[in-house]
A and B are shown apart, each in its own frame.
Chain A
Amino acid sequence: DGGITQSPKYLFRKEGQNVTLSCEQNLNHDAMYWYRQDPGQGLRLIYYSQIVNDFQKGDIAEGYSVSREKKESFPLTVTSAQKNPTAFYLCASSIDSVSQHFGDGTRLSIL
């Protein structure tokens, strides 16, 4: 089945650690996105990529980094510079930049 797979489902980070969230899609979509969701808020865009080896900052990119070495993969690293990393992280992909298809998310918590 085609879709977007995010892993792990739950992730715990110690203070000062970097952690990487995985996002893989087999939909052959060019565009991929990372969003952060906090309780009671909508989705806020962290980074997005329209094509392999290219990506742009979204509205809240500080403390995060990404790479896009393969069309299928768009990992997100939450660095120690992100002072409030506890959130639900959602990855999406799109063939037309409009109809975005989402994974089931990774919930990141700080120990």
Chain B
Amino acid sequence: GQQLNQSPQSMFIQEGEDVSMNCTSSSIFNTWLWYKQDPGEGPVLLIALYKAGELTSNGRLTAQFGITRKDSFLNISASIPSDVGIYFCAGQLSFGNEKLTFGTGTRLTIIP
């Protein structure tokens, strides 16, 4: 099965820094989602994007649906310790397609 390419694989930042990560695919997606997973828990939905070019915010998080529909970006501003975790992108290939394709994840670590 296809998996989305996420980069970077891991990030080490200091508290207060901004974070950027992205997700790319060779296929066109109709919907993009971003999830965060804390250790030992299931992923939690952060942001859902439904339209090419769409820019959506959730607090300090901002995500964009790439204009080519083959990529998506997630930015976190002014990082705090609870931002630590693994961030996954996920995409839906076509409307009515009941499956999601997940990225390989970006692990965010905050250096004290």
Residues of A within 8 A of B (CB): 4, 6, 31, 35, 40-45, 48, 50, 58-60, 90, 92, 97-105, 107
In the complex, B66 has a CB within 8 A of chain A:
no
- CB atoms of A60 and B100 under 8 A apart: no
- CB atoms of B102 and A42 under 8 A apart: yes
- Residue of B6, B31, B43, B98 near A102 (CB, 8 A) is B43
- CB atoms of B105 and A59 under 8 A apart: no
Distance A102 CA – B41 CA, assembled complex (angstroms) = 9
Q: Within the complex, what minimum Cβ distance (angstroms) separates A77 from chain B?
A: 20
- CB atoms of A41 and B41 under 8 A apart: no
In the complex, B99 has a CB within 8 A of chain A:
yes
With a CB–CB cut-off of 8 A, which chain A residues contact B43? 43, 90, 102
Q: Within the complex, what minimum Cβ distance (angstroms) separates A43 from chain B?
A: 4
Q: Which residue from chain A places its CB closest to the CB of B97 in the assembled complex?
A: A97
In the complex, B65 has a CB within 8 A of chain A:
no
Q: Within the complex, what minimum Cβ distance (angstroms) separates A38 from chain B?
A: 11
- CB atoms of B104 and A100 under 8 A apart: no
Q: Beta-carbon contacts of B89-110 to A below 8 Å, as 1s and 0s?
A: 0101000111110111100000
- CB atoms of B42 and A42 under 8 A apart: no
- CB atoms of B44 and A102 under 8 A apart: yes
With a CB–CB cut-off of 8 A, which chain A residues contact B33? 98-99
Q: Which residue from chain A places its CB closest to the CB of B103 in the assembled complex?
A: A42
- Residue of B40, B45, B90, B104 near A101 (CB, 8 A) is B45
Distance A35 CA – B35 CA, assembled complex (angstroms) = 15
Distance A34 CA – B31 CA, assembled complex (angstroms) = 20
In the complex, B112 has a CB within 8 A of chain A:
no
- CB atoms of A99 and B102 under 8 A apart: no
- Residue of B9, B42, B90, B105 near A104 (CB, 8 A) is B42
In the complex, B21 has a CB within 8 A of chain A:
no
